A and B are shown apart, each in its own frame.
Chain A
Amino acid sequence: MSGEHHGSSAISERVRHVEALLEARGLVDEGEIDRRIDEFLAGGSPANGARITARAWVDPGFRDRLLADANAAIREVGLSMAGGLQEQRLKVVANSAEEHNVVVCTLCSCYPIALLGPSPAWYKSEAYRSRVVRDPRGVLAEFGLELPATTRISVWDASAESRYMVVPRRPEGTEGASEEELAGLVTRKGLIGTAAV
């Protein structure tokens, strides 16, 4: 397992070579892979996760449906995990005073691109992937998130087919805020679980 494999030029070179072979043998059309990737990334942005979170904050019924069957619930706000070759299963977990959730992919870098956009470099780093399962409280403190000792920490390892998103706690003093204003408060780190909102 190499921590820097995503940025390695040797790998990039090999990928370009394989891509050229696939095109030369007529298995994919020229530019098809780029088009497929563009389609997969199209519309993927943390703004989507923020919208889902804001709806969950203002609508307890939606929140319940989201935690029970996220794939079905996000269709209510016009979103979907079906942008790739097949629909990916989505699991959404919600933070509370008692429990804080944080997401990692220890084996590679699985991430809900449709809802959060491309993942940040630190999410793919070997340091984050290996350390957050072992010492989440310490890693979160390095992110600037000091949790009370009474808050349990639950780490989710995206080791198979599901993708995960965290619903952060709604900030205090936002009772009068609109859903749109609330969505504007939500950060990417909040949706991964490495920051509070």
Chain B
Amino acid sequence: MADRFAPGDAVRTSTADPAWHTRLPRYARGAVGRVVEVAGHHPLADDRARGLPGTTRAVYHVRFAAADLFGDGDHAVTVELWEDYLEPADPRGGTP
């Protein structure tokens, strides 16, 4: 399956609060960032933690402006996120 996103794409992270283990950190939920690079393909951590087979998905480095995560701050935070956590975002929206 082709990767859904490419470097430069603006993406918005999920706001879901799953009952199981996930590797979308809480501070990065519902935020708009930009894909920096594809960081390989791995089984979704959420599936593996529940004993499910876990299909292999693209994982991305996604860079966020601190202000878009926390409301202030002049630094950037790059988080590594599975494709499943991401939706396309309006590139004119608040991106780093």
Q: Which residues of A contact B (CB under 8 A)?
A: 89, 91, 106-107, 133-137, 152-162
Contacts and interface: CB of A to CB of B under 8 A. Distances in A.
Contact of A155 (B42, B61, B77): B77
Contacts of B80: 157-162
Interface string B69-96: 1100111111111100000000000000
Interface in B14-65: 23-25, 27-28, 39-40, 42, 45, 59, 61, 63
A91 B40 contact: no
Given A89-B40, A133-B77, A154-B75, A160 B45 contact: yes
Contacts of A89: 39-40
Contacts, number: 67
Contact of B23 (A91, A134, A137, A160): A160
A107 B80 CA distance: 11
B75 to A, nearest CB: 4
Nearest to A134: B70
Contacts of A153: 74-76
B27 A133 contact: yes
Contact of A152 (B24, B45, B59, B76): B76
Closest CB pairs A-B (n = 7) = A160-B80, A153-B75, A155-B77, A157-B79, A161-B42, A154-B76, A159-B80
Contacts of B28: 157, 159
Given A154-B76, A159-B81, 18 more contacts: A89-B40, A91-B39, A106-B25, A107-B25, A133-B27, A133-B77, A134-B70, A137-B75, A153-B74, A154-B63, A155-B78, A157-B28, A158-B80, A159-B23, A160-B23, A160-B45, A161-B40, A162-B61
